[in-house]
Amino acid sequence: MAKPGQSQPLIEKALSEGHLRLDTSGKTERIVYVAVNHFEKWSDPEEKVRAEFYAELIYKYDYAPQRIGVEVTVPDRSPSDFADLVVFHDDERKRPFAVVECKKDGISDAEFNQAVEQAWGNGNAHKFRAAYVGVVAGGTRKFLDADDKYGALERDKNVVADLPAGYGKPPEYKYRKGVSKDWQDIRPVSKGELIAAIKKCHQTLWGGGRLSPPAAFGEFCKIIFVKVRDEKRPRKKGEPYQFQIKTDEKAHALAARIKAMYAVEQLKEPDVFAEDMKIDAGTLKMVVSHLESIDFSRTDLDTKGVAFEQFMDDFFKGDFGQYFTPREIIQFAVEMLRPDRDDKILDPACGSGGFLLYAMDYVRREADKLYPNHETDPDERESHRDFWHTFAQDRLYGIEINDEISRVAKMNMILHDDGHTNVISFDALERFEGLRSRKKRLQPGGFDLVLTNPPFGAVVKESEKGKAYMEGWELLRYVGKPGTGGSDDDPERSDARAGKKALKSRTSIKTEILFCERVWQFLKPGTGRAAIVLPDGILTNSSLQGVRDWLLQRFQLLAVVSLPQEAFQHAGAGVKASVVFVRKRAEDEQPDDDEAIFMAAPANIGYDATGRKTARVSVKSENGRKKVEVHATDLFDVEVTFEKAAKAGTGEEEWQEKTRRVVAGTGVLGQYRAFEKKPEPFFV
């Protein structure tokens, strides 16, 4: 069952107690509002919103069903103008108290504002004067004091926090901590509800092109930052949350309050969000209306992860696709390396933070095994949180050159309960002095694991970056065929560790080659391991034999997993690539010709060139409210758990993903585990 206070159980209650009835006797299923004997087509999305709010009027707002009119003719309006819901003072339904328009969830801001005007006109019609009017569009709602002292253009002056209950006065604040009626507190939400709310925020912020998608998302990150911090601020039972719209609060006053909250958090963590909010008051008020009822802190991490991943897949298509490595590749790389809570982990090209988040999730699932009763046992809960949360805060690091995308990574970390302060916006190929000036712990030889998908194809040029940027890179002298470019008797061009003469230093080089050297620099000698997504040209082009010699001298090559051509096509990159797994050799360690290398070339990695999912799906179990599926690919199998939950703004239920778990011993991952136990040359 859904959690108490969510709208779907209220409909169930209204149905079970006879206030609503589903009529299936005809060709079309109809919903019946029993007290007024009114029928409507149940498949209409707006009807589902109306039925939801009708149940709320009964159980949340304490209005008698016989006093709630449905599809009420409004006097002196056009013949076809009806009010969706009208709360009356009397059983005869003659004296209106509140008029409410119901719209489907996800309508545009312009459509929502038009609905406000419609409600205002209905509520202020001659001989039909109501005290309050409102619009309900799923989770986005607006209620107004309809007193005639407010002019036609003063919709911002008469906003109330909520529709009054029991013919009383509107509350100053709607949402308060720990109140007895749980719908007056903010609440955790399902994946569908969270996706719907975030998409509405995107539409409001993006506004048809006022901001680029990353810039709009950057503003969204700032707003969520304030929202989450407000949720976590200590407050007494019954004390109101600050991230909400107060009764009679104008847009500029709300904006000033929210921006002041943001400024306080900026002072505490100036490295997180250095810039002020750049959003106008009206837009900010609309975003707050989309989010004020949601408890992000108590919405489970899997729900937040799935919702934000799906949302960003849509948000950052096109030019920004290169910043988002597909989940299947991330999962595979992390599962292959099996991070430990004591590992210090870095992604020097972290994009939206996928590798870091999955490493965090991996450690959190280890905590689940150690503390199986953490959801019910307070002692285990504290130990469980300390196990993975300390790891998230202290041992996960990310570098992202694009400032807007780095904010996406920080936001992802915040929503997954932190680690965001260790994500910096910087060029990971800059000299180490620059990196250390931004984050002291970004030291050579300081990391146990590096997980990364560096940018492909771009060329670093001395003419653009400057001589200082290019100095010190060993691999600049290894690009080209062996035996060309460079004098054999030039001692500055030789490298004793490589066992051969190096090449003449170049003034340009591809970024992915420099990232190989930077990964080597970051790893701990002898034990540091890495998973790097690399274009196959590094592994096969004859002109890069010198680079391969350098890599094999300094790394033990553990595994090469060749990805199919379409692996990154839907993200805008058509380059054939592989995931390369390596271990950094100790200072005095020499390569051994007998070192075994695991090699694999999976065909089905879980999606095709368009991003369409291709996993082989089978149902493992289903019991009505819960379903477990197995999604099989050549990389590994994943066990996915679904639960029935309310579909946002519809009143219906749907299967919504709750958790996913990699099945041990399956696919290429399982074969690599066998290889680790008996490392012999292997190809699958």
pLDDT the model gives residue 369: 92
- Which of the residue ranges 161-165, 416-420, 519-523 would you say has the lowest mean pLDDT? 416-420
Read off the pLDDT band of 349 (50, 70, 90): very high
Give the pLDDT confidence of 124-139 residue by residue, as tens digits: 876 788 999 999 998 8
Give the pLDDT confidence of 578-617 residue by residue, as tens digits: 999 999 999 999 999 889 999 999 999 999 988 889 999 9
Let me know if residue 144 belongs to a domain.
Answer: yes
The separation between CA 279 and the C-alpha centre of its own chain, rounded to angstroms, equals: 21
pLDDT the model gives residue 150: 60
194 vs 501, which has greater pLDDT? Answer: 194
Smallest Cα–Cα separation from 294: which of 231, 229, 251, 248?
A: 231
- Which of the residue ranges 142-151, 425-434, 463-472, 605-614 would you say has the lowest mean pLDDT? 142-151
Let me know if residue 36 belongs to a domain.
Answer: yes
pLDDT the model gives residue 8: 47
Give the pLDDT confidence of 271-289 residue by residue, as tens digits: 677 788 988 999 999 999 9
Q: Hey, is 335 helix, strand or coil?
A: helix
pLDDT the model gives residue 648: 57
The separation between CA 303 and the C-alpha centre of its own chain, rounded to angstroms, equals: 9
- Look up the CATH number of the domain holding residue 120: 3.90.1570
Give the pLDDT confidence of 19-78 residue by residue, as tens digits: 999 999 888 899 999 999 999 999 898 999 999 999 999 999 999 999 999 999 888 766
Read off the pLDDT band of 523 (50, 70, 90): very high
For residues 124 and 127, give the distance between their C-alpha atoms in angstroms, rounded to a whole number: 8
For residues 124 and 119, give the distance between their C-alpha atoms in angstroms, rounded to a whole number: 8
Determine contact, residues 61/68, Cβ cutoff 8 Å. no
Residue 323 has phi, psi (to 5 degrees) of -90, 0
pLDDT the model gives residue 5: 37
- Which of the residue ranges 242-251, 634-643, 649-658 would you say has the lowest mean pLDDT? 649-658
pLDDT the model gives residue 505: 60
For residue 152, pLDDT over 70 is answered with no
Let me know if residue 344 belongs to a domain.
Answer: no
For residue 321, pLDDT over 60 is answered with no
Let me know if residue 632 belongs to a domain.
Answer: no
Determine contact, residues 357/304, Cβ cutoff 8 Å. no
pLDDT the model gives residue 492: 35
pLDDT the model gives residue 649: 53
Torsion of CA 236, 238, 243, 245, to 10 degrees: -150
Give the pLDDT confidence of 301-316 residue by residue, as tens digits: 777 777 777 666 655 6
For residues 650 and 182, give the distance between their C-alpha atoms in angstroms, rounded to a whole number: 21
pLDDT the model gives residue 565: 92
Tokens of 186: 């903010």
The CA–CA distances, whole Å, from 284 to 134, 364, 435 equal 19, 34, 35
How many domains is the chain built from? Answer: 1
The separation between CA 261 and the C-alpha centre of its own chain, rounded to angstroms, equals: 23
248 vs 156, which has greater pLDDT? Answer: 248
- Which of the residue ranges 160-164, 202-206, 333-337 would you say has the lowest mean pLDDT? 202-206
Helix (H) or strand (E) holding 87: strand 82-88
Smallest Cα–Cα separation from 449: which of 534, 391, 368?
A: 391
pLDDT the model gives residue 500: 45
Smallest Cα–Cα separation from 409: which of 368, 446, 359, 458?
A: 359
Let me know if residue 25 belongs to a domain.
Answer: yes
Could you tell me how many residues make up the chain?
Answer: 684
Read off the pLDDT band of 570 (50, 70, 90): confident
For residue 495, pLDDT over 60 is answered with no
Let me know if residue 37 belongs to a domain.
Answer: yes
For residue 102, pLDDT over 90 is answered with yes
Residue matched to tokens 């930077």? 518
Let me know if residue 118 belongs to a domain.
Answer: yes
Q: Hey, is 93 helix, strand or coil?
A: coil
The share of the chain scoring above pLDDT 70, in percent, equals: 87
Tokens of 97: 């108290």
Residue 115: domain span: 7-171
pLDDT the model gives residue 481: 46
Give the residue-averaged pLDDT of 202-220.
75
For residue 518, pLDDT over 80 is answered with yes
Smallest Cα–Cα separation from 142: which of 173, 124, 163?
A: 163
Give the pLDDT confidence of 394-445 residue by residue, as tens digits: 999 999 998 878 877 887 887 776 657 789 899 999 999 999 988 889 999 9
Let me know if residue 83 belongs to a domain.
Answer: yes
Residue matched to tokens 């930052």? 225
Q: State the chain's mean pLDDT as an integer.
A: 86
Determine contact, residues 391/341, Cβ cutoff 8 Å. yes
Q: Is 558 left (phi over 0), alpha (psi -120 to 50) or beta?
A: alpha
